[in-house]
Amino acid sequence: MNQESVAISNEVVHLDDDDFETLVIQSKKPVLVDFWADWCQPCHMMAPTVKALAEEYGDRIRVAKLDVDANPMTTHKYGIRGIPALLLFKDGQLVQQIVGVQPKEEIARIINNHL
């Protein structure tokens, strides 16, 4: 997927260690990254919320997922110890971290504080 198609999508983008810098750190809009794993039941519980946020915010933010098992470099760099972990980046900087299952309204409130 090229950067242009990602920029206009309101779908959840799947990241890896190789494209994290380009799609998150260099993004011109805020990026919410869901650090998750397939074996993690709470992560699966959060998946519909993450998808709903991507649809609700459309092109105002990018919503992405990063599999912690397949992407150890990024997971280690941000000190992810518990999942699900939602990290919000703005202007290339980590501005908020949310760990554990949270209601959509709480996550939306945090996103709105940074828009």
Check if 43 is active-site.
Answer: yes
Q: CA–CA distance from 52 to each of 47, 48, 81, 95 (Å)?
A: 9, 6, 25, 21
Catalytic residue (one of 43, 50, 87, 111): 43
Q: Are 78 and 94 in contact (CB under 8 A)?
A: yes
Catalytic residue (one of 37, 40, 52, 108): 40
Provide the b/e sequence for 44-58 (b: ≥16 CB within 10 Å).
eebeebbbebbeebe
Q: Are 77 and 20 in contact (CB under 8 A)?
A: no
Q: Which residues are catalytic?
A: 40, 43
